[in-house]
Structure 1
Amino acid sequence: MNRTIYRSLIVSSAALSASSFAVSFTDPIDGMLDMGEYLAENAYGFLPVPVIITEPALGVGGGFMGVFLHESEQEKETRKKLALESIDGGANLIPPAVTVAGGGATQNGTWFGIIGHRRTWNQDSIRYMGGMGYGNAFIDIYADIGSDNQWIPNQSVSFESDNKGYGGMQKLQFRVGDTPLFLGVSQFWARSEVRSSNDTVNAIIENLIGLETTASGVGVNAEYDTKNSFFFPTDGYSINAEYMMYRDSFGSDNSYDTFELAGQWFHPISDSWTIAFAGGYESLTKTERGILPPLAKPYVKLRGVSAFRYQDNYVSAIQSQLMWHIDNRWTISGFTGVGSASNEVDGLYDDSHVAYGAGFRYLIARRYGIHMGMDFAFSEDDNAFYFNVGSGF
């Protein structure tokens, strides 16, 4: 993404504020294009993030997201002072509260709108994250049909599903003493409607699970976080674990448990190179008989792999990424990953799916350490590109 395109995005967002004409988009330290002052000094300033959708499961489309930062006047002045004293001074402070709002649509009729918020209190000893969304997604659902008859081989079938729904989630965490460990609680609620353009499939869905479903769960979470940046880490690691219970006593139509374990590790090889690894594991265990909605099960999440393409009771993915920091502003990266989904935990990686690609990032707001850019990813079945804020994990 060249500087002309970045400037056009900034001018478009600045036009929404009458006071933005007085704000500079040139960094006082290196003279490069920068939105740090705009985000800090403009009461209505936000980081414009185009949503370019090439997700194979949804088709080509686009939208727009706005990233709003919230700070007190004292926090702004402290961050500004450190940013003027060093290249990455302001980025090392506790991140400000963040609100993200926007939406998008694709050529197959899918559309969505979301709003999310993250903030901390008491010098990052309390963390909160929550969000809500509403949308309509046309997604192909895949299922493996097996047979013990040697004349009828195992095969994978798919059907188009029309998913309408709305819901929200929230997570509250408390730091344990002065350690990097956080413990907390989680909550999730969603109301969805699933249909198919195929009348036969639609009748089967209605008879087996019903066309409308409510998922409601509560759980506990733990996080160990030593990363040096919230927006674009280059050193440290984090480990996250969450256990959720969905029960009729919480308002859920189905009873099941989910568990998720995820980790990231960033290691600077030199001043110009950073290597990173990420891994994740998810499981779903039913606590009563019955068939769950098609999108309830976890799926392999890798750049370049179609969403919901590989679903099952147990899912795992491992990724690696090498980042070359050309200078203070530009970073180029190459990444690869492998994922697997299985009905049984001991079957993970009996059948694997590989994805790989490359991308770049530009430091668009130096005093906050916010990087924007694109990733181009490929897999055995699909390819896509993504407009991302952050490292990509």
Structure 2
Amino acid sequence: MNFLPISTVFLLAFAALSANTAFADVDAAHPDPSSAEDREAVADKPENERWYKNIVPIPMIITEPAIGEGLGLGIGYFHPVPGADRYTANQLESPTAVRDARVASKPPPVVTGVFGGVTNNGTWAAGIGHMNNWKDDRIRYLGVVAFANVVTNFYVLGRPYEFELEGVVLVQDVKFRLGQSNWFLGVGLSYLKADITFRVPPPDPDNIDVSGLLTGEFTDIGLTARVMRETRDDSLMPSTGSLIDMTLSSNGDYVGGNYDYTTLKLKFLSFHPLGERFVLGLRGEYALQGGSAPFFAVPWISLRGIPALRYQGDQVAVVEAELRYRVSPNWAAVAFVG
């Protein structure tokens, strides 16, 4: 559910915006390119009468325990793309949907967006992103540039120590489909340049290396390789299919960073319909890390309701199950355990 290991904590604000989104009120005026009638209707309208209909405002409610509560706003422009079986604006009402659609089995949208948000603990973030695909969905691209000031906690022997991380992050991700299959190979680049300050310096207990925590300004750069298989029927609200995603990230001074470490991540998602309205979702994730990673990049347990960075380690595994009940095409009730 995150981008690349280098930017995990720094993008906490954006992750919170993605995970806790108010429903946007998007009407049916957005055309569906898979419909011949809609294509003809769009062609009959002057460009200056319909371009603004592709702009979708996304109000957000932030409830991430690691950064507090707050509000945000995103604005996405869905570029008109000819062709069938495309996502439409009213199917992508949240940054989570936009983010996850980049690994969907059907072609993702071509969208450019800006976002911003602030929480009650002083965290704020703002950025711009673009998602595209080419050659009949054989190539998929995602790029994000964000500025943020993240205020959250780092835990030593269970005791929280508040720190502030301020700077800029750049994420570039491109994937290539293997033939006509559901397999993708991808590469990525992540860049983080920031300044970190502990409001209360952490102690130096036995067997815990806290050297380098108070480094002030730093740079962390990583390269990522990915193998992915996607068979979900829909990435926005899937009812069947699975996602297998394996990433290997290498961060080091050989690309200009201040830290040297390697991270392997495995993710598995599976969805199973139970009758007409219930869907069982299963999730498993595993992370393994070696080297000298900054404390904020050490893998942590990522579960709803648990603050980021609360439980960290060189090896982390997560298992989660959720049961979703479809109330209507746009609303669902979810119960989960993990």
Partner of 1:297: 298
Q: Is the 8 A contact 2:87 2:107 kept in 1?
A: no
1:336-347 alignment to 2 at 5 Å? 336-337=337-338
Q: What CA RMSD, in Å, does the superposition of the two structures yield over aligned residues?
A: 3.3
Q: Is the 8 A contact 1:282 1:314 kept in 2?
A: yes
* Alpha-carbon distance change, 200 to 281 in structure 1, aligned in 2, over 3 angstroms: closer
Answer yes or no: is 1:50 the counterpart of 2:59.
yes
Partner of 1:64: 73
**CA distance, structure 1, for counterparts of residue 283 and residue 111 of structure 2:** 24
* Alpha-carbon distance change, 41 to 281 in structure 1, aligned in 2, over 3 angstroms: farther
Partner of 2:332: 331
Q: Is the 8 A contact 2:213 2:295 kept in 1?
A: no
**CA distance, structure 1, for counterparts of residue 295 and residue 212 of structure 2:** 14
* Alpha-carbon distance change, 330 to 61 in structure 1, aligned in 2, over 3 angstroms: closer
Q: Deviations over 1:45-88 (max 9, x none)?
A: 3333222122222122111122332222x3389889xx9xxxxx
* Alpha-carbon distance change, 332 to 257 in structure 1, aligned in 2, over 3 angstroms: same
**CA distance, structure 2, for counterparts of residue 293 and residue 101 of structure 1:** 29
Please point out which of 72, 75, 99 is paired with 2:83: 75
Partner of 1:343: none
Select between 43-52 and 170-179 the one with higher mean Cα deviation.
43-52
1:83-162 alignment to 2 at 5 Å? 94-144=107-157, 156-162=158-164
SS of the equivalent of 2:54 reads coil
**CA distance, structure 2, for counterparts of residue 96 and residue 42 of structure 1:** 16
Q: Is the 8 A contact 2:105 2:232 kept in 1?
A: no
* Alpha-carbon distance change, 100 to 298 in structure 1, aligned in 2, over 3 angstroms: farther
* CA positional deviation for 1:206: 8.0
SS of the equivalent of 1:249 reads helix
Partner of 2:309: 308
* Alpha-carbon distance change, 47 to 321 in structure 1, aligned in 2, over 3 angstroms: farther
**CA distance, structure 2, for counterparts of residue 122 and residue 206 of structure 1:** 48
Gaps of 5+ in 2: 1-21, 33-41, 43-48, 92-103
SS of the equivalent of 1:115 reads strand
**CA distance, structure 1, for counterparts of residue 168 and residue 86 of structure 2:** 40
Q: Is the 8 A contact 1:298 1:312 kept in 2?
A: yes
Counterpart residue type for residue 154 of structure 2: I
Counterpart residue type for residue 199 of structure 2: S
Select between 182-191 and 266-275 the one with higher mean Cα deviation.
266-275
**CA distance, structure 1, for counterparts of residue 312 and residue 283 of structure 2:** 20
Gaps of 5+ in 1: 15-22, 28-36, 84-90, 145-155, 338-393
TM-score (norm 1): 0.64
**CA distance, structure 2, for counterparts of residue 125 and residue 92 of structure 1:** 11
Partner of 2:166: 164
* Alpha-carbon distance change, 195 to 79 in structure 1, aligned in 2, over 3 angstroms: closer
Q: Is the 8 A contact 2:262 2:290 kept in 1?
A: yes
Query: How many pairs align?
Result: 284
* Alpha-carbon distance change, 244 to 66 in structure 1, aligned in 2, over 3 angstroms: same
Answer yes or no: is 1:250 the counterpart of 2:255.
yes
**CA distance, structure 2, for counterparts of residue 141 and residue 284 of structure 1:** 18
* Alpha-carbon distance change, 281 to 206 in structure 1, aligned in 2, over 3 angstroms: closer
SS of the equivalent of 1:295 reads helix
Counterpart residue type for residue 242 of structure 1: T
Counterpart residue type for residue 80 of structure 2: E
SS of the equivalent of 2:254 reads helix
* Alpha-carbon distance change, 314 to 125 in structure 1, aligned in 2, over 3 angstroms: same
Identity %: 28
Partner of 2:246: 241
SS of the equivalent of 2:64 reads coil
Q: Is the 8 A contact 1:172 1:185 kept in 2?
A: yes
**CA distance, structure 1, for counterparts of residue 308 and residue 59 of structure 2:** 20
Q: Is the 8 A contact 2:54 2:79 kept in 1?
A: no
* CA positional deviation for 1:214: 0.8
Q: Is the 8 A contact 2:253 2:259 kept in 1?
A: yes
**CA distance, structure 2, for counterparts of residue 254 and residue 77 of structure 1:** 43
Partner of 2:35: none
Please point out which of 209, 212, 216 is paired with 1:211: 216
* Alpha-carbon distance change, 79 to 129 in structure 1, aligned in 2, over 3 angstroms: closer
* CA positional deviation for 1:41: 4.3
SS of the equivalent of 1:315 reads strand
